[in-house]
Structure 1
Amino acid sequence: MAKDLFFSMDLNLLRTFLVLSQELNTRKAAERLFVSQPAISQSLQKLRSQLDDPLFVKVPTGLKATPFAEEMAKDLTPHLNGISTVLNRGREFDPLSLQSSVKIAVAPIVLTCLSGSLYRHFAKVAPYCTLELVAWKTSSIDQIQNDDTTIGVSLNQSPNQGIHLELITEVEAKVIVRNNHPLTGDTVTAQQLEPYPIASVITPGYNDGFTEAAVLMQNEGLNPSIGFRTEFVMAVVDVIENTDFFMPHSDLFPIQRYPSLRAITPLINGEPYTNSIYAYYHAKHKDTALILWLVEQIKWVIKQETQGQKLFNKKT
C-alpha cells in the first residue's frame, strides 16, 4: 500500500516549497521564511526524496521549477492561501507600524490624479512610511514580480504568470481641450472630433504602438490624425493649451487645477466610453495585509479625487 504523504509529510515543507516556487531563489526564500539558506536546502532535499522529483534545478538566474513542481505549485496555491486567510482572519493591518518604503508604479493617466493626493493621504494615515511613486514602464510588471516594486496601477494589460490584477475603478473617457477651443459643447461625437489632431498620452505596455482614440474613431469610419504622442502628460497639456489639438483622457484628469482647460465627454456610438484601472501585485501577496491595505488606500484616494472633480464640473 502506497504511503499517504498527507499524514507522513511535514506540512511546513509545503510552505517552503510554495515560497521557493514563487521566489526561485534560496536566499529570497530564506529571507521570507526567516530561516537560513542551509535550512531551505535541507527542506528541499526532504521534498525531493518524498516526492521523487528534483522540483527545482539551478539556472544562471537562480532556480527553475520542473514541470511537476509547476503543476504542484499551481494546485497547492489556492489551498495554502485559504489556510492563510483563515488563520489571519480578524487581524488588522496597523499603518502606524509601517516604517519601510512602499514603491508604487503608476501609469501616466493615473499619475496626474494620484501623485500629490496619495502622498498627502499617506502622510496622515502612515506617517512613518516612505512613499515612492515612479512612472509605469514596460518593465514594471517584471519589477513587481521581482519585488523591486511593491504594487502597480495601470490600465488593463496582460501580466506575467504570477501577477494578480485587482480592479481599482472604472473611468469615463474625457476629451481635454483649451477653453477657447472651437468645440464648445459638454459632449462631442467622433465626427466632431475628426478635424482636430490628437495629442495622445502613452501608457507603456498598453498603447505603445497605437492611439486608442484614433482606433475608436476609425471604427466609426473616420480618418483621425495623430499630431503628438508622449508618456509625459504635462507635455501634452502644454500642446493642447496652445493649439486646437485634443487630449483623450478620463475623469481622473484634475481639471480643476487647470483653469485654461475644459473637459468634454466624448460619445462613441452615442454612448460615453469607459475603461478600467487595475492594481498589479505579485500573486504571492494576494492575502498579505499590507497589499490589501494599499489597494484600499489607492481606491479611496481615486474615489475622493473623482468625486471632487465631479463637484467642480457641476459648479462650472
Structure 2
Amino acid sequence: MIDERHLLSLDLNLLLLLKIIGEERNSRKAAERMFVTQSAVSKGLKKLRHQLGDDMFVRNKNGLEPTEYCEQILEQLPDVINSIGEMLSNKADVFDDTFSGSICIAISPTFYKPYSTAIIRHFNSLVPNATLKIVNWTWQTENDLINKNVHLAINYYPLDISKSIIQKPVCDIDFKFCVRKEHPLTKSPHTLSEFSHFPLVLAIQPSFANQKSHVERIFDESGLQTRVSFQSDQITLCYEKLKISDGFMPIHSGAEQELPAELQLIDIPFDELPFRRFGIYYPTPSKEAKITRWLAQEVSSLLKRFN
C-alpha cells in the first residue's frame, strides 16, 4: 500500500537528477548535462539521501557507486519518468491515417530482410501519410537512439549498451544453423563435436564485432576448437560464403523464408542457444515519448505474430 504521507514529502523534481547521476556516476558530468553547477548537484543528492534515508551513492576510485537500494530504484526509474512524462503531456498525438510525421526504425542486419517488409506493410496500413525510414543497426545506432535520431530499434536481447537506452524483451527466438543444401551435416543429426570440424560463418553485430560470439563460447566451454572462416555485418555476404563452402552459421529460424535457394536450416545439436530473445530499444523519455511508446507496442505485437 502506498504511504501517501511519505510520497508527499519527496521532491519528485529530484528523480531526474537521480537518473542522470546513475548514468554518469560523476557529479561534474551530471551537472554539465543538467546545465547546473556541481554544487547544485551535490545539494540535490544530499536532499535525496535525507528524503530516502539511504546514502544512495558511495564515492570510490571510479566515481560514484550506487548502493543496493539505489540500484533497485535506478532499474525502474526510466519507466517511471516515462509514465510521468506521458501523464503530464497535453499533446494529443493521433497515430492513424491522419498522422504525417516521421518514424525511424533501426533493425539488426540479421533481422533486416525477413522483418523489414512486414514492418513496411504494417505501418503503411496504420499511418499511410507518415514518412517511414528503416535503417540497419550500425556502429552509430546507439548514439542515434540517445540523440533521438532513431525512434526505436530491433535487435537481440539483452545487449551491453548505454543505460540511457531502454531495452525490453519481446519474445523468444528459435535458432538454427544455416548451411548449403549439399553440406555433409544435412544427412542426419550430428553432435556438437562433429560441427567443430567445419568452419564457422558469423553475421556479426555492428558495435559488438570485437566480442566473441555466444556460439564460439559454447564450443570453448565444451573444450572444442572451431575456426571462424568469415564474418560480416552484411547477411547477404554471409550467405554467399555459405554457398561456396562447408561453413555453418547460427541464425534465427525467421530467416528461412528469405534464404537463397542454395541454402537450408538444420537443427542445433545443443540446448545453450545464442541470444534466444528479440528485444526493442528506445531512448529515455522526451517530447517524443508518445510516439516511442506507440511504436514499441506496435512493433512488439508484430514480432510476436512472427514467432
Could you state the TM-score of these two structures normalised by the residue count of structure 2?
0.70
Partner of 2:150: 149
The one-letter amino acid paired with 1:231 is D
Q: For residues 1-316 of structure 1, what are the structure 2 equivalents within 5 Å?
A: 14=13, 18=16, 57=31, 66-68=41-43, 81-83=82-84, 94-155=95-156, 156-185=158-187, 187-255=189-257, 257-268=259-270, 275-284=276-285, 288-306=289-307
The one-letter amino acid paired with 1:99 is S
- Alpha carbons of 1:284 and 1:304: their partners in 2 closer, same or farther (altered >3 Å)? same
Contact 2:114 2:258 in 1 (8 A): no
Q: How many residues align?
A: 265
Deviation at 1:224, TM superposition (A): 0.6
Deviation at 1:189, TM superposition (A): 2.9
Any idea what SS the aligned residue of 2:175 has? strand
Any idea what SS the aligned residue of 2:162 has? coil
Deviation at 1:227, TM superposition (A): 0.2
Identical counterparts, % of pairs: 18
Any idea what SS the aligned residue of 1:99 has? coil
Paired with 2:109 and 2:29, the residues of 1 have a C-alpha distance of 41
- Alpha carbons of 1:243 and 1:76: their partners in 2 closer, same or farther (altered >3 Å)? closer
**After the TM superposition, which of the residue ranges 203-212 and 79-88 deviates more from structure 2?**
79-88
Deviation at 1:195, TM superposition (A): 1.5
Deviations 1:175-213 (A, max 9, x none): 011111111257543212112111101112345332332
- Alpha carbons of 1:79 and 1:175: their partners in 2 closer, same or farther (altered >3 Å)? closer
Deviations 1:117-163 (A, max 9, x none): 21122111111122211121233222211111111111221222222
- Alpha carbons of 1:80 and 1:167: their partners in 2 closer, same or farther (altered >3 Å)? closer
Paired with 1:135 and 1:63, the residues of 2 have a C-alpha distance of 37
Deviation at 1:233, TM superposition (A): 0.2
The one-letter amino acid paired with 1:264 is I
**After the TM superposition, which of the residue ranges 163-172 and 77-86 deviates more from structure 2?**
77-86
Contact 1:108 1:231 in 2 (8 A): yes
Paired with 1:98 and 1:207, the residues of 2 have a C-alpha distance of 38
Contact 1:103 1:131 in 2 (8 A): yes
The one-letter amino acid paired with 2:104 is K
Which blocks of at least 5 consecutive residues in structure 2 are unaligned? 1-7, 21-27, 49-72
Paired with 2:223 and 2:205, the residues of 1 have a C-alpha distance of 25
Deviations 1:66-112 (A, max 9, x none): 35557969698766555556678xx9953324312211121112212
The one-letter amino acid paired with 1:152 is A
Paired with 1:200 and 1:56, the residues of 2 have a C-alpha distance of 39
Paired with 1:181 and 1:286, the residues of 2 have a C-alpha distance of 53
Paired with 1:256 and 1:169, the residues of 2 have a C-alpha distance of 20
Contact 1:230 1:236 in 2 (8 A): yes
Which blocks of at least 5 consecutive residues in structure 1 are unaligned? 1-5, 23-53, 307-316
Contact 1:93 1:290 in 2 (8 A): no
The one-letter amino acid paired with 1:171 is I
- Alpha carbons of 1:285 and 1:68: their partners in 2 closer, same or farther (altered >3 Å)? same
Paired with 2:166 and 2:259, the residues of 1 have a C-alpha distance of 33
Partner of 2:63: none
Partner of 1:39: none
The one-letter amino acid paired with 1:226 is V
Deviations 1:16-63 (A, max 9, x none): x959x87xxxxxxxxxxxxxxxxxxxxxxxxxxxxxxx997558x977
Contact 1:18 1:77 in 2 (8 A): no
Paired with 1:126 and 1:105, the residues of 2 have a C-alpha distance of 18
Paired with 1:221 and 1:102, the residues of 2 have a C-alpha distance of 47
Calculate the aligned-residue CA RMSD, in Å. 4.1
**After the TM superposition, which of the residue ranges 141-150 and 187-196 deviates more from structure 2?**
187-196
